[in-house]
Amino acid sequence: MLRASSGTLCALGLKKAAGPVLPTTAYLMLGTKCRRNCLFCAQRRDAPPSVMLSRVDFPPVEWEAVLEGLRRSSLERICFQLVCQEGVLRETEKGLALLRQHGVALPVCVSYLFQREEHVRRLLALGAERVSLPLDAAPSVFAGVKGEEPFAPYRFVLQMARRYPGRIGTHLIFGLGENEEEFLAVYQKMVDSGVTVGLFAFTPLKNTPLADRDPPPLGRYRVVQALTYLMEKGRLSLRDMVFAGGRVKGLKKDRSEILALLEDGAAFRTRGCPGCNRPYFNESPRGPLYNYPRELTEEEAKEALAVLERELEFRCTRFF
């Protein structure tokens, strides 16, 4: 079954826009009931039937309407989010073929934690521009949250990134119980290996075992956004950070140098595949916006930098 996020339906002209920002990627979901049981996910095996992924609705839609809408839209990318279910790979292949047949030339990524290279190779050969292998959780919390050991999935992502440079991504969720030092070390490893990371803040959802857990404090998410952005730009590495009890205490760098690199606010925008803005996957349109799905206003960028100044020490040393 094909489903599309409500925002995607608006961007395709199939529904009246509700939120102030529309997606720049068409988010399409294939599959109905997941065999996996990730604690944070509304599609998990033990959850009641739900149309939600993260905090966004994905109602069913006909392929014909989507293809027609895609031809008219100004979207930048198509993202297939797959639910772990028998036959979903065949459905994805059919979807890629339909896009080709109907002359939709947008770059496509497929997001699913495959375990076999042959599946990744097949999708790339059939026209997917990228494959995203969502790890979601840092290794120390992986088994508790996703119900399997982290070693094989982590090894597989890094192996695929070596095999298919520039075509492999992942998703990492901050706030699942890992500490900042581990999260940033994992992120650095992904950046160094050429894996594109879609960064998410943990979002508690109804009918999941983590429904009562808080999302990460916004200030600490801003720190993670800023430091991972600078890692991606090659302007900062783990060696420049000072940790105390697993938390980033500060940076060994000058305040002015770091703030100048962040002043346009780009660090606080949604990150992942090019053209992916995932509006409201992590937050209500009323805010606070963990990931900005659009450019920040000058005021918003200043506010984000002010938060960083409160949360971080600069010219920080290990001796405290």
Phi, psi angle pair for 59, to nearest 5°: -70, 155
- Out of 109, 135, 227, 312, name the contact with ligand SF4 by CB under 6 A: 109
Q: Decide if residue 276 touches ligand SF4 (CB under 6 A).
A: yes
Name the nearest CA neighbour of 311 among 219, 184, 183: 219
For the chain, the maximum distance between any two Cα atoms, rounded to a whole number of angstroms, is 63
In this chain, which of 31, 169, 265, 279 binds ligand SF4, going by CB under 6 A?
169
Residue located via tokens 């450019």? 295
Residue nearest to ligand SF4 (CB): 272
> Which CB sits closer to ligand SF4, 77 or 253?
77
* Nearer residue to ligand SF4 within complex by CB, 242 or 266: 266
| Separation CA 13–CA 19 (nearest Å) | 14
Binding residue for ligand SF4 (CB under 6 A) from 3, 44, 146, 171?
171
The residues, any chain, with a CB within 8 Å of residue 241's CB and separated by 6 or more, are 184, 227, 248, 250, 251, 252
Stretches 55-63, 91-99, 270-278, 299-307: which one binds ligand SF4 (CB under 6 A)?
270-278
Which part of the chain contacts ligand SF4 (CB under 6 A), choosing from 3-11, 113-121, 181-189, 271-279? 271-279
Q: Compute the least distance from the CB of residue 148 to ligand SF4, in Å.
A: 20
Nearer to ligand SF4, 198 or 250 (CB): 198
C-alpha 45 chain-centroid distance: 21
- Alpha-carbon distance of 130 to 145, in angstroms, equals 26
State residue 19 phi and psi, 5-degree precision.
-85, 165
Number of residues binding to ligand SF4, judged by CB under 6 A: 13
Residue 95 binds to ligand SF4 (criterion: CB under 6 A) = no
3-class secondary-structure state, position 213? coil
**Amino acid letter at 172?**
L
291 scored as a contact of ligand SF4 (CB under 6 A): no
Q: Contacting ligand SF4 (CB under 6 A), which of 23, 31, 175, 198? A: 198
Which residue from 12, 38, 56, 79 is in contact with ligand SF4, where contact means CB under 6 A?
79
Residue type for position 83: V
Chosen residue from 6, 111, 225, 282 binding ligand SF4 by CB under 6 A: 111
- Residue 169 pairs in a beta bridge with 132, 196
Strand boundaries in 74-185, DSSP class E: 77-82, 108-111, 130-132, 168-174
Helices (H), 164-217: 180-192
DSSP letter at 313? Answer: B
Q: For residue 176, state whether it binds ligand SF4 (rule: CB under 6 A).
A: no
Label the pairing between strands 52-53 and 56-57.
antiparallel
Asked whether position 273 contacts ligand SF4 by CB under 6 A, the answer is yes
Q: How far is the CB of 132 from ligand SF4 (least distance, A)?
A: 3
- Positions 122 through 141 that interact with ligand SF4 (CB under 6 A): 132
Strands 241-244 and 247-251: antiparallel
Check binding of 188 to ligand SF4 (CB under 6 A): no
Least distance from ligand SF4 to the Cβ atom of residue 316, Å = 32
Q: Which residues bind ligand SF4 (CB under 6 A)?
A: 25, 77, 79, 109, 111, 132, 169, 171, 198, 272-273, 276, 278
